[in-house]
Amino acid sequence: MVRTLCHLAVTLMLAGGVPGRDATAADTYPVKPVRIVIGFSPGGYIDLTARLVAAPLASALGQQVVVDNRSGAGGVVGTEIAAHSPPDGYTLTIGSVGTHAINQTLYRKLPYNVVKDFQPIARLSDSPNILAVHPSLPVNSVKDLIALAKARPAQIMYASAGAGTSTHIAAVLLEYLGHIKLVHIPYKGGGPAIIDVVAGQVPVTFGTAASVSPQTKSGRLRGIAITGSQRSTLLPDLPTIAESGLPGYEMINWLGLFAPTGTPRAVVDRLASEALRIVRTPEVRDRLNAQGAEPSPLNTDEFTPFVKREVEKWAKVVTATGMTVE
């Protein structure tokens, strides 16, 4: 009898735990501060969104929620930290189309696997990137930029938030479809990249709407087009790159909350419920809108297959363009 009970206990543990384990985890969670690791420096779209979510999430959970910026390698440094953290709900990350879709194929030796090492929790928001230039560059449209790049091959520089980020891939996609060659200047985040573009050190960026919109509204940068497949209701005056002469061009920078694989489902469900409630509030929606982003909530069961589809979609693009990062 004792042997049978021991065998049953081992079987249940191997199957994912004893009955009620997830429920107990959810009932007691959290008992200490929660960390959201961000693979980019402060000031960019991902960082701003993380901080928008962190404060109300802390109130809901009754524990401090800390945003931990670990920038480098196009978000890989911070994302790797989250991937290899204990799956207990105390280390999360906000991932993007770059960190959790494009990088999977772009990097030859990525130190984590997006599908195997992460449990998607909820999609939070999305935003098109903006093709913008310093006012000193004689460019007013996508066609102007392509013509100038053909006249000055491999001379026009563009700033990105790092290799593999949406701000990098957006430019590579333009190069591929427009048959031009630009010079990539990667930074350790969107904030530092925008600073140098505004200063005129680098003339072009495909920055996130969150980082570029305030600069275009102030006249420090000139907005040319957006990377989405259709015009944004928040940026109605900017045409899409597709309608500006490159049909088929599309890049949407979505953001979502992730936990390491193995995090108890009840904890994941609680985090998803709170995160989705937060991005649906008028206060957060308005602050996202002010940055050129919009809530695009998906629950765990919707977000998980979405991430898999995005990995497959961008694998085709990366392969077609021949991009790679060591």
Q: State in words which class domain 2-126+254-321 has.
A: alpha beta
DSSP string, 266-287: HHHHHHHHHHHHHHTSHHHHHH
pTM above 0.75, yes or no: yes
Closest CA relative to residue 125, chosen from 52, 41, 231, 205: 52
Which of 39-48, 167-176, 191-200 has the weakest average pLDDT? 39-48
Question: Which structure tokens are listed for 41?
Answer: 């420096």
Say if CB 229 and CB 126 are below 8 A apart.
no
Q: State in words which class domain 130-226 has.
A: alpha beta
| Residue 286: alpha-carbon gap to chain centroid | 19
Task: Mark 10-35 as b/e (b = at least 16 C-beta within 10 Å).
Answer: eeeeeeeeeeeebeebbeebbeeebb
Ranked by mean pLDDT, the top range of 102-111, 144-153, 213-222, 317-326 is 144-153
Percent of all residues in the chain with a pLDDT value above 70, rounded to a whole number: 92
Indicate the pLDDT class of residue 180, thresholds 50, 70 and 90: very high
Closest CA relative to residue 257, chosen from 274, 241, 234: 274
pLDDT at residue 184, rounded to an integer: 95
Quick: pLDDT tens for 58-73.
Answer: 999 999 999 999 988 8
Instruction: Considering the chain, tell me which residue range(s) the CATH 3.40.190.150 domain(s) occupy.
Output: 2-126+254-321
- In the predicted structure, residue 129 carries a pLDDT above the cut 70: yes
Quick: pLDDT tens for 227-267.
Answer: 998 888 888 899 999 999 899 898 888 999 999 999 999 99
Mean pLDDT of 96-118: 93
Mean pLDDT of the chain: 89
Instruction: Considering the chain, tell me which residue range(s) the CATH 3.40.190.10 domain(s) occupy.
Output: 130-226
For 82-117, list the strands marked E by DSSP.
91-96
- Over its C-alpha atoms, the chain yields an Rg (Å, rounded) of 21
Quick: pLDDT tens for 76-97.
Answer: 999 999 999 999 999 999 999 9
pLDDT at residue 65, rounded to an integer: 97
